[in-house]
Structures are given as C-alpha cells and as structure tokens.
Structure 1
C-alpha cells in the first residue's frame, strides 16, 4: 500500500509480496464521507486469483504440519502487531468506510485483536473422542486435520473485523487462505496481510482485490477446498451453486433482519436507550442490527414516542466528529437502496422521524423510524442495511413470535422482559442462530455467530467456528 498526501494505492498481497493486477486494471476507491476518490485497488483477474491459490496450495504443505504451539505464536504476534499499528489500521478503515474513527478504535479494534488471541489459544485445544477399543482387538483414534486452501470473501460493513473472523480460525486450524475483500473497502485487509507477513510463511495468507468476477474466479479455482462468505443472501446462493460443481465445503454467514420483542413488563427506559444506540451503530449496516422492533400493544405508543425522540437526536457525522453517532452509508448505491425503500412505503406506513439523506457531500442519512408497517411490506421482509428501524405492535406472546419469525432470515433476535419464563420461552421459539435477552448485538469470541434459514449455515467465532475449518479422519489400529 503506497501512500501519497491524497491518494492511496492498494496492492494485492500474494505469496508474501505486494503486486498490482496482472492486467494493470484498477478499481477506484471512494470516501463515503465526501463522495470523492481517495485511492485505487487492483481489479484482479483469473491470473491473479490463480497465482494466489497456487501460492496458498504450495504453502499448505508446510503450514498444515506446524504444531499448534507454532500457529498460536504466529497469531499472538499478529495480534500484537495490530495493536501497535492501531492508528494506521484506523486510517485505512476510515478512508474506505467513513465510520467514526473513535468508535473503530474504542469498540472494533479491541474486539478484533481479541478474536486473534482467542483462536491462538483454541489452536491448542481441539476436541476429539477418546481413543478406545470400540471393537475387540482394534483401537480407534480420531484426527482433526486442516481442510486445505480456504477462499474467503468478506463484506464492506466491518472490513477488518470480518477479515479477522475468517482468517483467524482458518490459520489456527492449519489451513492457508486466499481472501477477497469487498471491492469498496479493501485497504485494511491488505494492511492486515502486510503486517501478518512478518509472522507467517509466504503464501499462508493472500489477499486479492477485485469485483464479483474476481470472487467467481476464486470460488471456481480447483485448489480451493472450502469457501467462507459473509455477504448477502443472493451472493450466498450464487456461491453455493458454484461451489457445488466441485463439492467444495461451504461456510455462509448471510443477511439478517433481526426482530426485537419488547414486552409490556420490559424496562422501557433501558430498552429505548440500548436499542436506539444499537440499531443505528455503523449506520445500521450490520446483519444483526435491531431493525424490526415489535412492541406489545399496551406500551406501543409510549415506546414509539420515546424511541423516535431518541433517534431524532442521533446525528451522523464525519469520521473525526466527536459528536457523530454514526457515519455515512457505504456507497451511493447503498444510499439509493435505502432511499428507494422509504420512497415506496405503502400508504399505511408512517415515517415518524428522519427519512431523508443529508444535504451535504457524502452518503449520510438521517436516523429513521417507520411505524404502521404490515408484516408483508417490503421494508419488513427485506434487510434494509441502513439507519432505518420499523416499529410494529403485537397483541400477545404467540403473535409476537409469529411476526418475529415471519421473514426469510434467521440470524439474530432479542427479547426484552423482566419475566424469566417468558425469556426462556422466547429463546426456544425464536427461529434464529442468536437470541439476546435484555440486550442486543453483543458478540464474544467464545460464542458462535451464525444463523439459520436464509441467513446461512456455519459459525464464525468460538470453538464451533474453529471446527468448521477442520475435517475428521478415523484411524483404526
């Protein structure tokens, strides 16, 4: 990554070296806070993908037989390097995303470093069945072995975090990686690869920048044995179809549309305070964002008034604005997508607060609350991925569960109540991979993060996520 005063040139990282695309083609990188170009990245083609996959395939022979202690040491050194280069990583992330710099440094980077350190320890604690004689005269042993070359495709909402969520368990298990970051936000992932190169053999971690065609070439490459994706439902469906041709293993973390059930006995002030912050964090560009709030009819009007008042006071702003609650949307296309949903609301829906883009450079949008929506409305069924929250009412617990589950996605949900039994019933009834009680959105390295139905399958984080990057071999003696 070469820096000038105003322009940054991002390069691929292949076999331990930084390279432009073989064709010389580039993509323009745009600062979402200004709408102006700030750099360029390679538009990688099949030749670049092939070079990265071949490098990873060659490196796998050595990396796969390193000891867990050696892999642990490398991941710990990478974690230390990220802490030492916090300012440079923040600059790379902020240039591509426009998110508040202070929030990235305070919230995201410590969590990113923790993921690396967690998987460093997990590398030395892989579980397995006890060796035993399950038939007379024969002893059975189970081995957990790395899968091989892993293709990983990450999104633009949390570029560095999602890269580390993918890279850390894959490397901890002894795999090698070819990562393709989003075409709009590659800078922090490439910087991560550069920092990691000081602690990994060449070819163990490769980054190729590019567009959807680059991703298609990567998924189709014969050296790849596992494909891991965080992205949209449509992208996951297309990748799953492509991977099936070569029977590649899949790990899909796709869209979300999180329901939030607020019961009549909930601590209303606490729910409003927490949810107003969590719903609009990162401009709502989060697959677990609290975007569909379902409130018991007895407290619906009271909750809506308080929540809308709180949302109206949340102002987006520039990355260095200390008062900014969130930053811009990722791109003009994403801004247009959010505006399109609001412009086509049915007559029965009401924009209670917000509803418009800011009249200034960049892709900023007001914190928005929409009430009066119906379950079949597009804004309810579709993941908005912007600073927009819908509020609906429900009459009783069973209707709340029905409305919460009546969307295609099933990633995360939360329930707000003082009743322990009700909370436990919700944890069973909500058809999602994650359920929070009286909180929302918190992740920890030790617990899995993944969904069901159209939100995909496979888990990031946790020991479960590590095992996804291994394959089992039965050895009988």
Structure 2
C-alpha cells in the first residue's frame, strides 16, 4: 500500500500544504512504496518558526537536561530498531542486518556520545588578561540549524546532524533526501515523546526545498552531507545571508598498497571496504594504488575477493550489499563503466545483477590513468580502479592528485612508511592497514572539495557553537 508521508513540525505530524509530491521507490524491485510531498514556503516558515520559538527555551536547558533527553532518545531508538530497519529498507534496499548494526545500533551509540559531550564543552579559563578586568569565554549555541541529509545512510546521517546540534543547545529543521525519508520520520516519531516540541523538525521535499531552507532568514547555520554540487549550492546560499555552513561532501579515497603488505589479507579488506553499502559511501575506497612489483598478485586477489561478495540474491542473508539507491544513480554508474577508456580492463564485474531492482556487480577496473574521469570523479558505486606506482613519492602524488580530500588509507608492514605517507596524504582521515572505521570520539571531515567542518567527536559539537568574550571591570 502506497501511503502519503507528512512533515514533522512543532512536535506533531502535519500534512504538507503543497500538492506536489515525489514517489519513494524501493530499489530492490522498483516499486513505489510512499509519496513524499514537497514542502513549500509556508511549510518551511512553520518549521522555522517552531524551531525559533523552541530555541528560546532549549538554549537555556542545562547540559545535564540535554544529556538526559538524548540518552532517552538513544534508548528509544534501540527499542524500536525493527521499525527503523523496515522503514529504511523500504527506501534503500540495504541489507537489514547492516541497517540494524551500522545505523540503529551505531547511531544510538553516537547519540550517547553526544549526550555526554553536552557536559564537556571547554574554553579559556577566566583570568585578568588586562589589569583591572576579568575576562572569560562563553560557548553558546548558534541558534536554529537548517540541515540536509543524504540517501546513503539516512538514519545515521540524521543522528550525525541532530546529535551535536541538539547537544550544544541548538534547535533543528532537517530535510532528509527525497528518496529516503521514512527512517528519519520514524526517528521524529520516537523523538516526539522525548524532546520538547519544536526542538527537532523534519521537512519533506526536494532540492528546491533545501535551497529555500538555506535562504530563509531564521537559520543561523546550515549543514549538509551530500554531493559537491549540492554543497556549493548550500554554501552559496548561506553566504548570501552571511550564515555559517558545515559541509561534508564527496570523496575519492585512495588505498595506497606497498609490496611489503600482506597482499591476500589486504585485497580482501579493500574489497570489503570498497563495496560496503554498494560503494555508496564518501569514505569508501575507490582508487587502489599499488606498488608496481605487487600489482599482478594484488589484482588477482582483488578479483577473487570481489567475486566472493554477493548482491541481488532473494535470500538477503547471502548479500554483502544491497542495490544502488535509485534508477538515475544506477544509470549513472552503468555509464561510468560503459565509458572506461579502451586501454583499461574490467577485471571482474561491470554488469547489472538480475532483472529487477538496481543491483550492480562489485567491479574492479585495471589499467586506468590519472587523468581518466573514472579516477578523477566520484562514481559512488561498487567500482574501484587500480593504478601502479614505483616510489613512495609517486604514490603520494597520485593519491593527492584529485579534487577530493576526505579519506585515505596506507597498507604496509613498515612503520616508518606508514608514518611518512600518513603525514603526506592530504586527506581528513588516514587509516593504516584498515579503512572506513569510525568512532564517535574521533573527528570525521575532509579538505578541498570534500568540504569543511567536522562530524563526530568534540570537534563536531564545537562546530555547532559560537564564542563570546565577556569582560568585567573589577572596580565596578
């Protein structure tokens, strides 16, 4: 049954005022599962007004109070895990166990971190930096935050957005991706009995809705996880209103593999980290740079590892990853593989799996060159390329020679090599003999066209605060 979704504003679900809507499609079979109305100016104004009103009270809650509510929200997420999983699976086709483990359980854990972080914000100690005057620093919430989340990890990205913002004392108006809104709406339903009305609001809509949110006069800050194109649009809109922006954008992560690495183990790990979530991850390995003498052995092992990772089975328990998110993205990934240069080789994969849904084989492409589109541009699918290098310096040069700078990894048994290369790689995260592992205590964010600002960690919470200097005369 196809049902029509609603916005969540001021603690309750309300119909969208506009008449236009978007079909939400299950990518495992191409069937429409819901209609997501497109919010218009009146809907946006209502949500922003609710958030602004709630901010006046929420900003004055104590860190202990905010911690308590976020801990309750985390517990409630876990209690309704099955509902969250099914809602998200309808929109993403992701393997259910992956959603349960990597989004619900991980999201609840990260909410608990943010709950604790609410009580640990720091600043300079008070002191007399000028004779006769005492100065101190107040770290305050920014205000209403307009947030936009992507379709690759809908629930987890919602947690990454609202967790630090709410912990710091802000209120939120969040727009999920138009293709994956349902798990965020379940999260809102969970929150309505925990958070005060207006603290967390959800607007449905498309790119135009997100742009209108950014342009609205109320938000003091905008935050997006998405494509570079979308990030540029958000940053441009924010600049027009002199608003702060927090951007977590695309990636083109290299895995730099030296000949002294355990090549069999490395190949299996790279395949798993590359094809996790069908490669729809901005931190996923997309480029394998291997020392020339180890090329043949690694490529053979990579092909074997890729072929061991299944997708498209009716028995979901056998799948390592699910489908690509939507037909437009599926067609785009197909086109990338179809247009590889004639001198490159598809070692394994490269084709659709089955005749329904948007499943695509794990794909390894060898023999590409640094200037090729498949090397320079984000594919965001289960496709990795292989290139060779002769020296450590050449490896770093190839790795850094893209516009993205979010994530990378080094694979070697030599500690000195690992330290030098991790220092020289121009990426926001560098893993050594592993990849894509995230922990709530450590920051996540990139450089260059991968954006700016940090998710997770205390740095992520601080991004949602502003600094005020207060000075008092001692003789007053």
Q: Which residue of 2 aligns with 1:324?
A: 319
Q: Distance in 2 between matches of 1:203 and 1:434?
A: 35
**Aligned partners of 1:94 and 1:319 also within 8 Å:** no
Q: How does 1:233-382 map to 2 (within 5 A)?
A: 233-317=228-312, 321-382=316-377
The Cα of 1:42 is off from its aligned counterpart by 1.8
Tell me the secondary structure at the aligned position of residue 128 of structure 1.
coil
CA distance in 2, matches of 1:119, 1:38: 33
The CA deviation string for residues 322-346 of structure 1, in whole angstroms up to 9 with x for no partner, is 0001000000001111011111111
Deviation of the 1:320 alpha carbon: 5.7
Unaligned runs of 5+ in 2: none
Q: Please give the alpha-carbon distance, in whole angstroms, between the structure 2 residues aligned to 1:196 and 1:266.
A: 47
Question: In the alignment, is the contact (CA less than 8 A) between 2:18 and 2:37 conserved in 1?
Answer: no
Q: Secondary structure at the residue paired with 1:286?
A: coil
Match of 1:164 in 2: 159
CA distance in structure 2 between the partners assigned to 1:458 and 1:102 by the alignment = 30
* Alpha-carbon distance in structure 2 between the residues aligned to 1:380 and 1:387: 14
- Residue 87 of structure 2 aligns to a residue whose secondary structure is helix
2:213 is aligned to 218
Superposed CA offset, 1:121-158 (max 9, x none) = 00001011111111111110100000000000000000
Q: Measure, in 1, the Cα distance between the counterparts of 2:55 and 2:314.
A: 40
1:443 counterpart (438, 451, 460): 438
Residues 266 and 418, structure 1, Cα contact 8 Å, conserved in 2: yes
**Cα deviation, residue 107, structure 1:** 2.9
Q: 2: distance between equivalents of 1:451 and 1:389?
A: 20
1:375-390, aligned counterparts within 5 Å?
Answer: 375-390=370-385
Residue 146 of structure 2 aligns with which residue? 151
Match of 1:9 in 2: 4
Distance, in Å, in 2 between the alignment partners of 1:19 and 1:421 is 59
Deviation at 1:108, TM superposition (A): 2.7
Q: Quick one: structure 1 residues 319 and 230, their matched pair in 2 at CA, closer, same or farther if it must change by over 3 Å?
A: farther
Partner Cα distance (1:75, 1:189) in 2: 16
Contact 1:7 / 1:39 at 8 angstroms: preserved in 2?
yes
Matched, 1:417 2:419: no
Q: Select between 101-110 and 338-347 the one with higher mean Cα deviation.
A: 101-110
TM-score normalised according to structure 1 size: 0.98
Instruction: Judge conservation of contact 1:102–1:320 (CA < 8 Å) in 2.
Output: no
SS at match of 2:436: coil
CA RMSD between the two structures:
0.9
| C-alpha contact (below 8 Å) 1:98/1:319 kept by paired residues | no
Query: In structure 2, what is the Cα distance between the partners aligned to 1:332 and 1:73?
Result: 42
Aligned-residue offset at 1:433:
0.3
Q: Which of residues 39, 45, 49 is equivalent to 1:44?
A: 39
Q: Counterpart of 1:259 in 2: which secondary structure?
A: strand
Q: Does 1:190 align with 2:181?
A: no
| Structure 1 range deviating more: 98-107 or 284-293 | 98-107
Query: Higher mean Cα deviation, 312-321 or 264-273?
Result: 312-321
Confirm or deny that 1:70 pairs with 2:65.
Answer: yes
Query: Which position in structure 1 is the counterpart of 2:18?
Result: 23
> In 2, Cα distance between the equivalents of 1:458 and 1:68?
23
TM-score by length of 2: 0.98
The whole-number CA distance in structure 2 between the counterparts of 1:404 and 1:242 is: 32
Offset of residue 12 of structure 1: 0.7
Contact 1:319 1:327 in 2 (8 A): no
CA–CA separation in structure 2 for the residues paired with 1:349 and 1:447 = 38
Whether contact under 8 Å (1:100, 1:319) holds in the other structure is: no
Query: Which 4+ stretches in 1 moved above 4 angstroms?
Result: none
Deviations 1:353-403 (A, max 9, x none): 110112311001011000000000000000110000101111110000000
Count of residues paired in the alignment: 472
Q: Distance in 1 between matches of 2:5 and 2:391?
A: 54
What SS does the corresponding residue of 1:247 show, helix, strand or coil? coil
Q: 1:92 is matched with which residue: 72, 87, 98?
A: 87
Matched, 1:111 2:129: no
Distance, in Å, in 1 between the alignment partners of 2:103 and 2:236 is 33
Counterpart residue number, 1:463: 458
Shift of 1:318: 5.3
Q: Which 10-residue stretch deviates more, 305-314 or 58-67?
A: 305-314
Give the Cα separation in 1 of the matches to 2:415 and 2:257: 14
